[in-house]
């Protein structure tokens, strides 16, 4: 049933607002989705085995392999979770299953996991870089390339303090990404794919060269993962160290020893949770693509992390593996390949570059992920809205970002560059967030009766009950490991519980305050607004005329462009649609929001202001809220669906009008067919206007080009049989020939000529970005009004 | 007494772990077959 959008109400009438619930996204292939997740998951290969070997001894690689095999089943839990059609954030979903207290603890553990991803990745990247620099110094000194004076100052070969230099590096990377996130950088799947392509080159080279080395020089045996082969350090026994000082534990409780070792290796599968974040953006068929991405991720990480761990122990001598290379094991592997030293050093340099790319990317993912989770928790009403207040200039949730980065900076400094301590704490967050996830999914098997696209096998029926044996099994392993980790990771347990308690208290207090505030705000909303839920934005069902004017709004303090649109356009001829995009970026994408969450307090204030502006002009406006992955996609998809003739936006504080038009043009290019062109009008605060055409359009022709065309026409029509040829037919023939030549061997020649005449640089949008410019054309200074199509 | 409780707790955890690993192995094997089908482009039929 269609319900038309309503005008600004008279007194006593509520404003109707259409809330679209399907998120407007640019969809990505499963390869890109896999690349995004692998940027996080594969980064653990750089430190997981080194940490595990310090904890359990030389048989650690088998446990890493075991964890990577087990990660196939954890991935299945996430696939089932993503295939459930539920709305609300992670807190609401876990609360549904486990109740409020456990849900808050679950989110706290997830936060601990996300927050620690940054410090461990940053410090680990620093360890790889400093390790290489020190190695280069040693090699240079051995060749006499370091001046004697420098040698004397350092009383030997100059060496950086590995841990503290790594701390400085990690702080620098964290601060860099802090600022990028404050500015609101868009997470690019293109970049993730590129990083994974380079990583793949490194993995292939590493495995190939390792195989050759094994063949040429042989290898050391990796002891089987039996209780007798486990050698726990005092640190790795944690609180149990006092009860079992002589390491008799492994012999007394054989399986317990295996469990402890398994618990020290679980961080190898950290990053699996990112799978849920990319699910929403996967292209159709979503479930099949999700499963494909999950298989690619699991296979890749098994080969990279699992095999690298085995090879490190097989090839790096015992004497140096832990003492020298414990924190940069893959770099050590590069140094023990068969071949000339210079080549090995160069390969180590390549490993460090790849490590830097993937680990520093994980620092960014940690900030984005934490920000996303806390935003969703805030949307679920558990964290005060104060945290989510947008940055005045950039529109980002800067308070949450500041809090996360402050915690990360504290963690980095407190760790003093100790990767082992960070890894132990990180493993605590990883295993507990997985355990809560498994438990919630297990309970939801009995509680949730809605749509579910796929189930973890093995399931069988007893009477009318279905027994989720597979899900229960995975959850049992996760829970048993998490519980045993409580006893064996003393520092992690203390820091993890302290962190979780702090967040738990913040969440509980915020929820208490929010409950009262929410009741008031809900009453206000019910008095003022009526939310009409729509799955998608469709012009006919919203009763909006074709050729309407779309006015996106974000900041309630800057509505100049709305005033301009209401002043200039005659609403008798064209509807004015005021739209707000509720942007939730990557990292908050596990579940879609409910309509009440999409239309939150901020949107209430925003639309109240927009309505009063419209009232001041005595004009009707239609109101629309759409959830989206990014604002540009939301605008072009809405404009396309509503068949808008113009989009009117205000000048951005961080982008020039040309850059805004370029971004919109790029989003337009990504739209599936059919798509329509429209006019973009950017209104400056002083009322000055800039107009761009988005989409294919008749190009502006120079007078001399028109003259040339005309001369050709005159010449051609003199030929017998061609008297009736039209100008456009000549243009068609010319363009067809041009396209043929461009597609053939003369392409380079044409491009060279275009560059020489400077045509490429005159395309708006081509200046800030060397990629092919989208179909954007700038109009004259004052801009012409788009014509109304009836 | 505390020691006995500790041993009991350890045995329970060990039981959970072993049973869990057994079930997880079954999940791994079944999903492996499904995954091969998914990667080769065959649609899965395991819907609820």
Cα→Cα distances A736→A516, A639, A699, A724, A733, Å:
68, 32, 17, 20, 5
pLDDT tens profile A507-528:
888 888 887 777 776 666 666 7
Q: By the 8 A CB rule, do A602 and A390 touch?
A: yes
Q: By the 8 A CB rule, do A676 and A643 touch?
A: yes
Q: Residue A439 and residue A479: Cα distance in Å, rounded?
A: 8
Structure tokens at A117: 């991803």
Residue of B15, B20, B41, B42 for testing the chain A interface, max A β-carbons within 10 Å: B20
CA distance A158 to chain B (A): 50
Helix, strand, coil content of chain A in percent (nearest 5): 60, 10, 30
Q: What is the pLDDT, as a whole number, of residue A591?
A: 57
Topology (CATH) of A30-508:
Amino acid/polyamine transporter I (1.20.1740)
Q: Residue A493 and residue A432: Cα distance in Å, rounded?
A: 11
Interchain proximity B31–A72, CB inside 8 Å: yes
CA distance A51 to chain B (A): 22
Q: Residue A583 and residue A395: Cα distance in Å, rounded?
A: 10
As a whole number, the mean pLDDT across chain B is 82
How many A-B residue pairs are in contact by the CB < 8 A criterion?
100
Q: By the 8 A CB rule, do A644 and A549 touch?
A: yes
CA distance A456 to chain B (A): 7
Nearest to A383 by CA among A393, A396, A394, A397: A397
CA distance A210 to chain B (A): 28
Indicate the length of chain B as a whole number. 48
Q: By the 8 A CB rule, do A432 and A109 touch?
A: yes
Bridge partner list, A693: A679, A777
| A689-694/A776-778 β-pairing | antiparallel
Interchain proximity A291–B27, CB inside 8 Å: no
Q: Residue A604 and residue A580: Cα distance in Å, rounded?
A: 11
Candidate from B14, B28, B39 with C-beta closest to A292: B39
Structural domain boundaries in chain A: 1-22+535-697+744-790, 30-508
B40–A contact, CB cutoff 8 A: no
Candidate from B13, B23, B38 with C-beta closest to A484: B13
Taking phi first (over 0 means left), then psi (-120 to 50 degrees means alpha), and beta for anything else, what does residue A238 get?
Answer: left
Q: What is the pLDDT, as a whole number, of residue A28?
A: 82
DSSP state at residue A87 = B
Residues lower than pLDDT 50 in chain A: 1-12, 587, 589, 760-773, 781-790
Q: Residue A292 and residue A282: Cα distance in Å, rounded?
A: 11
- What is the residue-wise DSSP string for A337-398? SSS-HHHHHHHHHHHHHHHHHHHHHHHHHHHHHHHHHHHHHHHTTSS-GGGGPPPTTT-S-H
CA-based nearest residue in chain B for residue A263: B17
Task: Write the CATH number of the domain with boundaries A1-22+535-697+744-790.
Answer: 3.40.50.620
Q: What is the pLDDT, as a whole number, of residue A525?
A: 67
pTM: 0.76
Q: Residue A200 and residue A354: Cα distance in Å, rounded?
A: 10
| A689-694/A678-683 β-pairing | antiparallel
Q: What is the pLDDT, as a whole number, of residue A310?
A: 96
CA-based nearest residue in chain A for residue B17: A477
Q: What is the pLDDT, as a whole number, of residue A226?
A: 87
Q: By the 8 A CB rule, do A466 and A459 touch?
A: yes
Q: Residue A382 and residue A399: Cα distance in Å, rounded?
A: 16
Instruction: Name all contacts of A190-194 with Cβ < 8 Å and 24+ positions apart.
Output: A190/A32, A191/A361, A192/A32, A192/A35, A192/A36, A192/A38, A192/A39, A192/A361, A193/A31, A193/A32, A193/A35
With a threshold of 0.85, tell me whether the complex ipTM lies above it: yes
Taking phi first (over 0 means left), then psi (-120 to 50 degrees means alpha), and beta for anything else, what does residue A587 get?
Answer: left
Interchain proximity B38–A292, CB inside 8 Å: yes
pLDDT tens profile A133-153:
998 998 888 888 888 888 888
How many C-beta atoms surround the C-beta of residue A13 within 10 A? 11
CA distance A452 to chain B (A): 6
Q: What is the pLDDT, as a whole number, of residue A414?
A: 94
Q: Residue A316 and residue A325: Cα distance in Å, rounded?
A: 9
Q: What residues of A are in contact with residue B18 (Cβ under 8 Å)?
A: 255
Q: By the 8 A CB rule, do A37 and A271 touch?
A: yes
Q: What percent of chain A has pLDDT over 90?
A: 37
Question: Residues in chain A whose beta carbon is closer than 8 A to a beta carbon of chain B?
Answer: 69-70, 72-73, 76, 253, 255-256, 258-259, 262, 288, 291-292, 295, 452-458, 469-470, 472-481, 483-484
């Amino acid at each position: 049933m269609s319900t038309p959008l309503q005008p600004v109400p008279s007194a006593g009438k509520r404003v109707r607002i259409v809330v679209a619930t399907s998120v407007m996204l640019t969809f990505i292939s499963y390869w890109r989705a896999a690349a995004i997740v692998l940027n996080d998951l594969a980064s653990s290969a750089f430190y997981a085995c080194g940490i595990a070997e310090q904890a359990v001894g030389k048989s650690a690689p088998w446990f890493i392999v075991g964890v990577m095999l087990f990660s196939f089943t954890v991935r299945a839990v996430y696939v089932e979770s993503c295939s459930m059609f539920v709305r609300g954030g992670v807190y609401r979903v876990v609360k549904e299953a486990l109740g409020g207290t456990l849900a808050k603890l679950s989110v706290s553990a997830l936060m601990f996991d996300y927050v620690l991803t940054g410090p461990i990745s940053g410090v680990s990247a620093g360890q790889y870089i400093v390790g290489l620099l020190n190695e280069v110094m040693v090699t240079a000194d051995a060749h006499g390339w370091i001046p004697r004076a420098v040698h004397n100052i350092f009383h030997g070969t100059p060496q950086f303090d590995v841990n503290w230099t790594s701390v400085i590096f990690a702080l620098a990377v964290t601060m860099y990404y802090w600022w990028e996130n404050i500015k609101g950088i868009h997470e690019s799947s293109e970049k993730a794919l590129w990083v994974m392509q380079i990583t793949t080159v490194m993995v292939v080279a590493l495995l190939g060269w390792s195989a050759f080395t094994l063949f040429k020089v042989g290898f050391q045996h990796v002891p089987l993962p039996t209780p007798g082969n486990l050698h726990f350090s005092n640190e790795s026994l944690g609180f149990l160290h006092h009860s079992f000082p002589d390491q008799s534990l492994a012999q007394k409780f054989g399986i317990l020893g295996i469990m402890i070792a398994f618990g020290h290796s679980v961080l190898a599968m950290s990053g699996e949770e990112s799978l849920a974040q990319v699910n929403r953006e996967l292209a159709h068929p979503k479930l099949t693509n999700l499963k494909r991405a999950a298989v690619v991720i699991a296979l890749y990480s098994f080969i990279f992390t699992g095999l690298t761990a085995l090879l490190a122990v097989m090839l790096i001598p015992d004497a140096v593996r832990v003492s020298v290379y414990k924190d940069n094991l893959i770099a050590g592997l590069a140094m023990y390949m068969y071949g000339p030293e210079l080549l090995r050093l160069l390969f180590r340099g390549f490993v460090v570059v790849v490590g830097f790319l993937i680990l520093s990317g994980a620092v960014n993912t940690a900030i984005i992920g934490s920000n996303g989770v806390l935003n969703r928790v805030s949307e679920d009403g558990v964290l005060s809205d104060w945290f989510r207040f947008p940055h005045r200039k950039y529109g980002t949730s800067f308070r949450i970002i500041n809090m996360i980065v402050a915690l990360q900076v504290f963690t980095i400094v407190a760790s003093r560059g100790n990767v082992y301590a960070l890894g132990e704490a990180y493993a605590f967050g990883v295993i507990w967030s997985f355990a809560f996830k498994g438990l919630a999914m297990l309970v939801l098997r009995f509680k949730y009766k809605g749509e579910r696209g796929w189930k973890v096998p093995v399931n069988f029926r007893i009477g009318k009950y279905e027994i989720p044996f597979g899900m229960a099994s995975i959850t049992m392993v996760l829970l048993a490991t998490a519980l045993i980790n409580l006893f064996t990771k003393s520092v992690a347990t203390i820091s993890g519980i302290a962190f979780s308690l702090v967040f738990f208290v913040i969440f509980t207090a915020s929820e208490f305050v929010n409950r009262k505030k929410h009741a008031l705000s809900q009453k206000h909303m019910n008095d003022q607004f009526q939310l009409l839920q729509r799955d998608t934005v469709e012009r006919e069902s919203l009763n909006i005329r074709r050729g309407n004017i779309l006015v996106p709004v974000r900041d309630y303090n800057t509505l100049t462009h709305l005033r301009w649109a209401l002043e200039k356009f005659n609403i008798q001829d064209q509807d004015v649609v005021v739209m707000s995009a509720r942007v939730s970026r990557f990292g908050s994408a596990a579940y879609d929001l409910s309509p009440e969450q999409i239309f939150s307090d901020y949107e209430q204030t925003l639309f109240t202001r927009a309505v009063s502006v419209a009232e001041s002009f005595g004009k009707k406006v239609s109101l629309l809220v759409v959830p989206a992955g990014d604002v540009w996609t939301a605008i072009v998809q809405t404009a396309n669906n509503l068949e808008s003739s113009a989009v009117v936006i205000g000048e951005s504080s961080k982008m020039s009008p040309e850059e805004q038009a370029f971004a919109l043009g790029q989003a337009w290019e990504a739209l599936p067919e059919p798509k329509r062109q429209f006019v973009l009008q950017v209104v400056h605060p002083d009322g000055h206007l800039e107009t761009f055409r988005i989409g294919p359009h008749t190009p502006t022709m120079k007078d001399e080009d028109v003259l040339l065309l005309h001369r050709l026409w005159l010449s051609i029509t003199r030929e017998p049989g061609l008297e009736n040829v039209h100008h456009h037919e000549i243009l068609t023939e010319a363009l067809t020939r041009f396209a043929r030549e461009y597609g053939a061997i003369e392409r380079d020649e044409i491009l060279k000529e275009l560059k020489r005449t400077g045509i490429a640089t005159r395309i708006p949008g081509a200046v800030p970005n060397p990629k092919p410019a989208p179909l954007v054309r700038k109009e004259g200074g004052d801009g012409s009004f788009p014509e109304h199509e009836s | 007494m505390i020691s006995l409780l500790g041993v009991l707790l350890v045995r329970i955890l060990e039981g959970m772990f072993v049973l869990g690993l057994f079930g997880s192995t079954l999940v791994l094997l079944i999903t492996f077959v499904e995954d091969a089908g998914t990667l080769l482009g065959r649609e899965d039929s395991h819907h609820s």
